[in-house]
Amino acid sequence: MNIQELRKKGRDKLIKANVYEANIKADILLQYVLGMTKTELISNSLSEVKNSEEEKYIEYLEQIVKGKPIQYITNIQEFMKLNFYVDENVLIPQPDTEILVEETLKKINEKSKILDLCTGSGAIAISIEHYAKSKTKLEIFASDISKEAIEIAKKNAEYNNANIKFILSNMFENIHEKEFDMLVSNPPYIERNIIPTLSKEVQSEPQIALDGGEDGLDYYRIIAKEGYKYVKLGGYILVEIGYNKKESVINIFNKYKEKYTEIKCIKDLNKQDRVIEVKVK
């Protein structure tokens, strides 16, 4: 079987299974198996494929049909125009989260100390460091409860030549540094009973990175209750939220009116509520 025939076979299989972006995923998988770029895939369309390569490709297609995210097969995800290693131990960074990074970058001064809570793959902390290090003196800390996630984040930091201090910590438990200029976080925020209704792909991601408790707000309560102790006066806390969490998260921070001011919501490019920003007073 040649590349053109196998490419069609892959596309047809994913289309039949109603896989989202079937053609794109079929092509990405074939590029991955054959070690080719998309241009090479097309220009070598009549070249014969080895039986072992065809078998591997079909095996990966089956995994996609069963709901495995393609990023967990290729072990790569682009975020903020950088490449990150991902596997089943970390949440797959999504474009919606880029607004959190962009808003953080706007607030960075010539010398900034930042904490990324619930770092996962490290995408947020590493992206901030990458785009700000040439303009300012940065000190960035990133924490996660998962030892496996911290190891992946360290790998991504090394790959992207980023200087990040990683901490294994359940929220603030092992955070001994204080006086941060900013605390940023994309915490778990999906309601526990909603998770089983999500797509098979999303359910394949680590539950610990999705489950925000019964109402999806557990981690915002912790951040609001403890965050100001770690951020200097006049500093900021920025958290990503689900599209339907704006009022709930604002209300949580409003319970600590003596500690926070200038609470506002920032929308993403799709005009969905995406980031809550508060100033520590």
Span 34-62, pLDDT tens digits: 999 999 999 999 999 999 999 999 999 99
Tell whether the model's pLDDT for residue 109 goes beyond 90: no
Q: What are 120's two structure tokens?
A: 């996962």
Residue 246 CB-density burial (10 A; 0-12 exposed, 13-18 middle, 19+ buried): middle
Tell whether the model's pLDDT for residue 6 goes beyond 80: yes
Q: pLDDT tens for residues 142-172?
A: 999 999 999 999 999 999 999 999 999 999 9
Q: pLDDT tens for residues 180-193?
A: 999 999 999 999 99
Tell whether the model's pLDDT for residue 135 goes beyond 80: no
Residues 19-42 have a mean pLDDT of: 95
| pLDDT of res. 58 | 97
Q: CA quadruple 50, 52, 53, 57: dihedral positive or negative?
A: positive
Tell whether the model's pLDDT for residue 124 goes beyond 90: yes
What percentage of the chain exceeds 70 in pLDDT?
100
Q: pLDDT tens for residues 193-248?
A: 999 999 999 999 999 999 999 999 999 999 999 999 999 999 999 999 999 999 99
| pLDDT of res. 37 | 93
Question: Domain spanning 79-280 has what CATH number?
Answer: 3.40.50.150
Task: Give pTM, 2 decimals.
Answer: 0.94
Tell whether the model's pLDDT for residue 116 goes beyond 90: yes
Q: What are 233's two structure tokens?
A: 């006066």
As a whole number, the mean pLDDT across the chain is: 96
What percentage of the chain exceeds 90 in pLDDT?
96
Q: What is the pairing mode between strands 164-168 and 111-117?
A: unpaired
Tokens 């599209």 belong to: 243
Residues 88, 72: contact at Cβ < 8 Å? yes
